[in-house]
């Protein structure tokens, strides 16, 4: 039985609690819930005013080293930390993003965790769930249709067709849609455009960052779609589309509640990627969870150079919240990969140097972890390292990582065994996190909002990535001048770059030095409130690998899913 089959078997073996019982543990009433069957529900925003008088729980964010094909176990650890805290008698809630169908059917698979550290119902979570991603995609594409319809019916706003920056979206990895031409019939206006994956949509970013329904409507109305002939902005509000977009999101704005394998609560809401978007679950889910829990464990996407930086500089600015502690997840074999020189071939056994004791490779790869710990310190947040244990790890290797992390000044470095043992395997990690969260936090942002946009980009590139400098293309300089002239330069920046390296180049493993970050273009996300510099060759639409995960998925004769994990 392979890992996917084992994870699915474990998920199906548990007896799930009625979701109303899970909600009751949080102090939520059945009137606060819109059930989706017996084991999933949306939690109404109407509960928030009643909860505001409660004290805030401790806010813990989980991040990681740069991911490798071998896996670090960040989601497994996030869920397992929640389980471990519950085992200590703490009221802990996990907050996750909703998976995109692109990775589920492509290269990564599902995002429900694994082994004894999962959220359930796993199949629904990884597939259509409560329909939020579809609502986001429909709202996004409604605006795209409004734009072309406006051109067709006389273009009263004098919208310049070739200035239109609003693409279309689909929640499947499809590289053929990265660049397309629309309007190839006589009644349409032909123009070049593209499809992005739905989780890269600005509508998804808005859903994750919004504070309430009025804020949602204001943000949708501010979305920039293009320019007038005179140079002014044309927005979704100008086109009269933002109200209908809000209608399509009327259910999606409410966070989703499910449970862990051990019956603890888990909020799932919004799903922006961290390499091409801001990479964090919703502010609304965190706000509800923090009023209902002693500890909230939320996951930021990819490494501390990506989702964690955006958690601090984008999400925390929007929410007004600050983290009490951070957990950096790594694994021995992933750190060996950061030594470089290893090749992973799907379907073939791993290089023996990755699965047997190899302290020289570990020593060569550990600078990647140490740089991510430096990144945590940039924000003044107490840190704990979680070393996600695999069966091939040796005691000497595990102790090497722990010693290096402790020497870097973290609160503790703990071996996590939540995959194998669930909450019991996360107790030591949970104890370390409670100690870290009890320390005074000196949380600070990386840059002031009043700084010029180019300096914000340079600050992230040099202090978080370790670059020597940045280099803007002529197109990026032109776009920056345009957007700052439109008054859009006063927010944070949301860098789009590869997640596989601290740099812009996925081939540069470990801790690269003396590199210059190329800024290819800059995109405006006026509704979300940030500008997005696009670095190197990163794109907004993934492609399927040579052997997609979908090849192993099917329904059996009884209608049960096989191969999904």
- CATH code for the domain of 224: 3.30.1510.10
| 341 Cβ contact partners less than 8 Å away, ≥ 6 residues apart | none
Q: Same structural domain for residues 240 and 269?
A: no
Indicate whether 1 pLDDT > 70: no
Q: Same structural domain for residues 227 and 286?
A: no
- Give the per-residue pLDDT at 254: 98
In a domain? residue 285? yes
In a domain? residue 555? no
Find the domain containing 224 and state its range.
Answer: 134-248
- By percentage, how much of the chain surpasses pLDDT 70? 99
Indicate whether 501 pLDDT > 80: yes
Q: Same structural domain for residues 272 and 287?
A: yes
Q: Same structural domain for residues 346 and 418?
A: yes
Tokens of 295: 């500890």
Taking only the tens place, the pLDDT of each residue in 133-142 is 999 999 999 9
Task: Identify the burial level of 90 via C-beta atoms within 10 angstroms of its C-beta, where 0-12 means exposed, 13-18 middle and 19 or more buried.
Answer: middle
pLDDT band at 348 (very low <50, low <70, confident <90, very high): confident
- Give the per-residue pLDDT at 534: 97
Residue 114 and residue 132: Cα distance in Å, rounded? 23
Residue 555 and residue 565: Cα distance in Å, rounded? 14
Q: CATH number, domain at 275? A: 3.40.50.300
Global pTM? 0.95
Number of domains in the chain: 3
Considering just the CA atoms, what is the radius of gyration of the chain in Å? 23
The owner of tokens 């979908």 is 550
In a domain? residue 84? yes
Q: Same structural domain for residues 353 and 376?
A: yes
Q: Is the distance from CB of 533 to CB of 476 less than 8 angstroms?
A: yes
Average pLDDT, the chain: 95
Work out the average pLDDT over 492-515.
96
Indicate whether 179 pLDDT > 90: yes
- Give the per-residue pLDDT at 165: 95
Q: Same structural domain for residues 296 and 403?
A: yes
Work out the average pLDDT over 67-74.
89
Strands 168-170 and 195-197: parallel
Indicate whether 562 pLDDT > 90: no
Q: Same structural domain for residues 265 and 235?
A: no
| 91 Cβ contact partners less than 8 Å away, ≥ 6 residues apart | 25, 57, 292, 293, 294, 295
Q: Same structural domain for residues 114 and 142?
A: no
In a domain? residue 108? yes
Helices 427-438 & 74-87 angle (0-180, nearest 10): 80
Q: Same structural domain for residues 262 and 172?
A: no
Q: Same structural domain for residues 10 and 125?
A: yes
- Give the per-residue pLDDT at 334: 96
Domain stop point among 385, 406, 438: 438
In a domain? residue 562? no
Q: How far is CA 281 from CA 182, 269, 524, in A?
A: 33, 6, 21
Domain stop point among 438, 470, 504: 438
Angle (CA) 111-113-119 rounded to 5° is 95
Indicate whether 338 pLDDT > 90: yes
Taking only the tens place, the pLDDT of each residue in 437-446 is 999 889 999 9
pLDDT band at 155 (very low <50, low <70, confident <90, very high): very high
In a domain? residue 541? no
- The listed range with the strongest mean pLDDT (68-77, 389-398, 550-559) is 389-398
Q: Same structural domain for residues 118 and 259?
A: yes
Residue 35 and residue 17: Cα distance in Å, rounded? 13
Q: CATH number, domain at 529? A: 3.10.410.10
Taking only the tens place, the pLDDT of each residue in 526-538 is 999 999 999 999 9
Domain stop point among 415, 438, 461: 438
**DSSP characters over 259-323:** EETTS-EEEE-----TTTS--B--HHHHHHHHHH-SEEEEEBSSSIIIIIHHIIIIIHHHH----
Name residue 170's beta-bridge partners: 197
Q: Same structural domain for residues 410 and 514?
A: no
In a domain? residue 448? no
In a domain? residue 545? no
- Give the per-residue pLDDT at 488: 96
């Amino acid at each position: 039985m392979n890992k996917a089959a084992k994870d699915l078997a474990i998920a199906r073996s548990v007896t799930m609690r009625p979701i109303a019982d899970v909600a009751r543990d949080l102090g939520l009433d059945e009137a606060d819930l819109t059930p989706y069957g017996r084991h999933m529900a949306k939690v109404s925003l109407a509960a928030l005013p009643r909860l505001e008088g409660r004290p805030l729980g401790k806010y813990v964010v989980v991040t990681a080293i740069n991911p490798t094909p071998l896996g670090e176990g960040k989601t497994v650890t996030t869920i397992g930390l929640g389980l471990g805290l519950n085992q200590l008698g703490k009221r802990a809630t996990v907050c996750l993003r909703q998976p995109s169908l692109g990775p589920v059917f492509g290269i990564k698979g599902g995002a429900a965790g694994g082994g004894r550290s999962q959220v359930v119902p796993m199949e629904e979570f990884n597939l259509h769930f409560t329909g939020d991603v579809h609502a986001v995609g429909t709202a996004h594409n409604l605006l795209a249709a409004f734009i072309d319809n406006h051109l067709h019916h006389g273009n009263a706003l004098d919208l310049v067709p070739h200035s239109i920056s609003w693409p279309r979206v689909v929640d499947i990895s499809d590289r053929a849609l990265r660049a397309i031409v629309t309007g190839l019939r006589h009644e349409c206006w032909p123009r070049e455009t593209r499809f992005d994956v739905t989780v890269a949509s600005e509508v998804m970013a808005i859903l994750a960052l919004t504070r309430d329904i009025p804020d949602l409507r204001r943000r949708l109305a501010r979305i920039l779609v293009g320019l007038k002939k005179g140079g002014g902005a044309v927005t979704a509000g100008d086109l009269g589309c933002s109200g209908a977009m809000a209608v399509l999101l009327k259910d999606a704005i409410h966070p989703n509640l499910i449970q862990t394998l051990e019956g603890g609560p888990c909020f799932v809401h919004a799903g922006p990627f961290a390499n091409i978007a801001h990479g964090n679950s919703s502010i609304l889910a965190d706000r509800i969870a923090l009023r209902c829990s002693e500890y909230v464990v939320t996951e930021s996407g990819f490494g501390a150079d990506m989702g964690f930086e955006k958690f601090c500089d984008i999400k925390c600015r929007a929410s007004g919240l600050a983290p009490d502690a951070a957990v950096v997840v790594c694994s021995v074999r992933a750190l060996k990969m950061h030594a470089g020189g290893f090749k992973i071939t799907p379907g073939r056994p791993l290089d023996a140097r990755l699965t047997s004791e190899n302290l020289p490779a570990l020593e060569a790869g550990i600078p990647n972890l140490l740089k991510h710990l430096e990144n945590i310190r940039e924000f003044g947040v107490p840190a704990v390292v979680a070393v996600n244990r695999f069966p091939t790890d040796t005691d000497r290797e595990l102790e090497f990582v722990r010693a290096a992390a402790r020497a870097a000044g973290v609160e503790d470095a703990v071996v996590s065994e939540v995959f194998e043992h669930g909450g019991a395997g996360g107790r030591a990690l949970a104890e370390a996190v409670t100690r870290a969260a009890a320390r005074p936090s000196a949380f600070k942002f990386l840059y002031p909002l009043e700084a010029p946009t180019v300096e914000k980009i340079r600050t992230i590139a040099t202090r978080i990535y370790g670059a020597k400098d940045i280099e803007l293309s002529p197109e990026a300089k032109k776009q920056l001048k345009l957007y700052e002239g439109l008054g859009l330069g006063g927010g944070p920046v949301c860098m789009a770059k590869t997640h596989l390296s601290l740099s812009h180049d996925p081939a540069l493993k470990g801790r690269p030095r003396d590199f210059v970050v190329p800024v290819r273009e800059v995109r405006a996300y006026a509704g979300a409130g940030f500008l997005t510099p696009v670095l190197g060759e990163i794109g907004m639409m993934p492609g399927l690998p040579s052997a997609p995960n979908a090849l192993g998925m099917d329904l059996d004769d009884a209608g049960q899913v096989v191969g999904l994990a």
